[in-house]
Amino acid sequence: MESNKLIELLEKMLRIRHFEEKVGNLAARRMILGSVHLYIGEEAVAAGVCANLRQNDFITSTHRGHGHCIAKGGEFRFMMAELFGKSTGYCQGKGGSQHIANFDLGILGANGIVGGGMPIASGAGLSIKMRNTDQVAVCFFGDGCCNNGVFHESLNLAAVWNLPVVYVCENNQYAVSVSVKQASLIHDYYLRKDAYGIKGCQVDGNDVIAVYEASKEAVERARKGEGPSLIECKTYRWRGHYEGEFDRHYTYRTKKEIEEWIDKCPIAQFKAYLIENNIITAEKIDQLEEEIKRELLEAVAFAEDSPAPKPEDALVGLFENE
Amino acid sequence: MREISYADAVVEAIEEEMDKHEEVFVLGEDIGRYGGAYFANPKLWKKFGDERVRDTPISESAIVGFALGAAITGMRPVAEIMFSDIMTVAMDQIVNQVAKMRYMFGGNVKVPLVIRTPIGGFHNSAAQHSQSLESWFAHVPGLKVAMPSSPYAAKGLLKTAIQSNNPVIFFEHIQLYRLKGPVPEEEYYIPFGEANILREGTDLTVVASAVMVHRVMNVANKLEEQGIQIEVIDPQTLCPFDKETILSSIKKTGRLFVVHQACKTCGFGAEIAAIVAEEGFDYLIDPIQRLAAYDIPVPFASNMEDFAIPNEQRILSAITEFLGK
Ligand SMILES: Cc1ncc(C[n+]2csc(CCOP(=O)(O)OP(=O)(O)O)c2C)c(N)n1
Ligand SMILES: [Mg+2]
């Protein structure tokens, strides 16, 4: 891979990490309201996959969607304004953390309903095929989604219709408190590819290059009209299921387990790799992070200074005018 | 009397019924060691274990359908759907299967099944976590629908629901879970189909459920200072619905005002208004009024959310205007 492509991957991951840390901080101070589900620890998945996408490709996202949005080109300030419930946010304050979309960037929406995005991404794939373009639709979803009916309906029909969809399972091993081991006898969800007759693989979801390579293949296949794929990325969420879960996550997992995964930090690993291979210096990385932090401060200021929607704005936007 | 929270009242009701009947078991998402998404109370799991407190994957159709299959073959399941917006994911099982099972098969089977689910939202829960869809379920023949507004009602109604040989949709309001209220130590059941008159009055009858009961009560107490006497009625169950209590109240007050958190169009207030128009028209001095959420998905931002759903201020001014004061 070219150096600048590698540095781009790092930058994307850092953008996600710093954004999420800031959001966690603001949520703790009650400056961001509602449920907030952070993506910290899983950055390599969104960054690695989206590095293969063009602006006019589509993604669907989940309740844990900030990372997908950033990786697909979402801007800090409009995201932050949405989290603050301001009229300058991506959804004018109607959506909030779990419902960010930007159709110009191909972000077809984060989702409060587990599995909600699966058929939607598949339908975008159908549209691509019917409109005869070379776009691709990527569906991000968690391990928890794999045992919901929509998983089966979506993969099966996308396979039968040979749609350009890449299904990216973020297997962070828990759906709230329910572990993959409790939820299924098959713990490697990529194996289900065979049930649908499609291509698929499992990758270390904390290895951004592995994610990038696997999704590159799948995206290229989709662009060439060779059908859907299922990629399972094994990863881990560091934080509680949502900000506000606090220590309750110790009811279902141990501190030791969390620490083991923190040791496998996708960003620390990748930084070490890049430095070792003389692709970037530690100083340059620090500089990059400082810039990101500065941009974040500006985004927070933008959100704070933005006007709140008027209460009556609630009544606007249900239907397109006809 | 001791005071316990609405959430603890729910847990206590289930615990007592599980103690009494070994066919009672619970299933749902994150209800085991985690103790429920909203409760953080793993008491049932600690006491009864994995066999009778079953964590499920995110499989709502399966949760309801498994409960139904178990209910018609000798068990007495209490299923939990994590929040009522996702009842929609299990709608075939609820509407076409659970509700129809007994009648369609000639009345030859009992369906002792409870589906508990939180409604409500507030606090920036946004469009997919804030809905109040109770009227959907009241519309489907074959489902009983309960909607308690206090810890006392939650416990007594849930125990009745679990004892019932008919399917019950049991709506708990998220914003009430922490509310504390008197609940006797002694066992009790609250029958379905009996409205609760929370306060008597002569000027106006207000019907409200769940969280709206509390908002209306605050308003009624304020208006009392101005000499206005409001009767507040909580139906407690929408199916069966206690129309007699409401009709006899209107006979006294001559006025009906319905408040609910659900959207206005086809909300349960429409049904109450229709019943009173059909059967109590002669008692009415003024036209019936409804105050409900606007017909929009619930928006995220605080001020829009507060605008969308009737708050105390809006209830107060609507009632004041209605009474022409
Ligand atoms: C259909 C549905 N069921 C339940 C929920 C409640 N819920 C929200 S997130 C979640 C866990 C999701 O787990 P997973 O898909 O593995 O994603 P993760 O949170 O681990 O990223 C649950 C049960 C929901 N939002 N939608
Ligand atoms: Mg998960």
Closest A-chain CA to B56: A183
Alpha-helical (H) ranges within chain B are 6-20, 43-52, 60-71, 91, 101-104, 134-138, 151-163, 210-225, 243-253, 268-279, 302-308, 312-322
Give A41 to chain B, closest Cα distance, Å: 22
B39 band by pLDDT with thresholds 50, 70 and 90 = confident
pLDDT one digit per residue (tens) for chain A, 322 residues:
899 999 999 999 999 999 999 999 999 999 999 999 999 999 999 999 999 999 999 999 999 999 999 999 999 999 999 999 999 999 999 999 999 999 999 999 999 999 999 999 999 999 999 999 999 999 999 999 999 999 999 999 999 999 999 999 999 999 999 999 999 999 999 999 999 999 999 999 999 999 999 999 999 999 999 999 999 999 999 999 999 998 899 999 999 999 999 999 999 999 999 999 999 999 999 999 999 999 999 999 999 999 999 999 999 999 999 8
- Whether residue B261 is contained in a domain is answered as yes
Domain ranges, residue B69: 3-182
Q: How far is the CA of A298 from the centre of ligand 2 (A)?
A: 32
Picking from A93, A63, A61, the residue whose alpha carbon sits closest to that of residue A80 is A93
d(CA A138, CA A65): 13
Is there an atom of ligand 1 within 6 Å of B58 CB? Answer: yes
Strand B180-182 relative to strand B3-5: parallel, antiparallel, unpaired? antiparallel
Residues B19 and B155 in one domain: yes
| Tokens found for residue A58 | 């589509």
Q: Which residues of A touch B34 (CB under 8 A)?
A: 176-177, 248, 251-252
Nearest protein Cα to ligand 1, atom 19: A175
The confidence score (pLDDT) of residue B325 equals 66
Residues B114 and B235 in one domain: no
Q: Percentages helix, strand, coil for chain A, rounded to the nearest 5?
A: 50, 10, 40
| Predicted-complex ipTM score | 0.95
Nearest-ligand number for the alpha carbon of A64: 1
The confidence score (pLDDT) of residue A53 equals 98
Report the residue from A148, A248, A318 with minimal CB separation from B58.
Answer: A148
Residues B307 and B174 in one domain: no
Residues 6+ apart with CB under 8 A from B274: none
Cβ A95–B124 below 8 Å, yes or no? no
Is there an atom of ligand 1 within 6 Å of A63 CB? Answer: yes
Total domains, chain B? 2
Q: How far is the CA of A112 from the centre of ligand 1 (A)?
A: 8
Q: Percent of chain B having pLDDT more than 70?
A: 100
Nearest protein Cα to ligand 1, atom 20: A175
Give B49 to chain A, closest Cα distance, Å: 14
Q: By the CB < 8 Å criterion, does A93 face chain B?
A: yes
Is there an atom of ligand 1 within 6 Å of A172 CB? Answer: yes
Q: Which of B157, B182, B207 is the last residue of a domain?
A: B182
Residues B158 and B214 in one domain: no
Q: Does the pTM exceed 0.90?
A: yes
Residues B202 and B249 in one domain: yes
Residues B283 and B219 in one domain: yes
Is there an atom of ligand 1 within 6 Å of A174 CB? Answer: yes
Q: What are the structural domain ranges in chain A?
A: 3-313
Cβ B124–A308 below 8 Å, yes or no? no
d(CA A137, CA A280): 32
Domain A3-313 fold is: Rossmann fold (3.40.50)
CATH code at position B273: 3.40.50.920
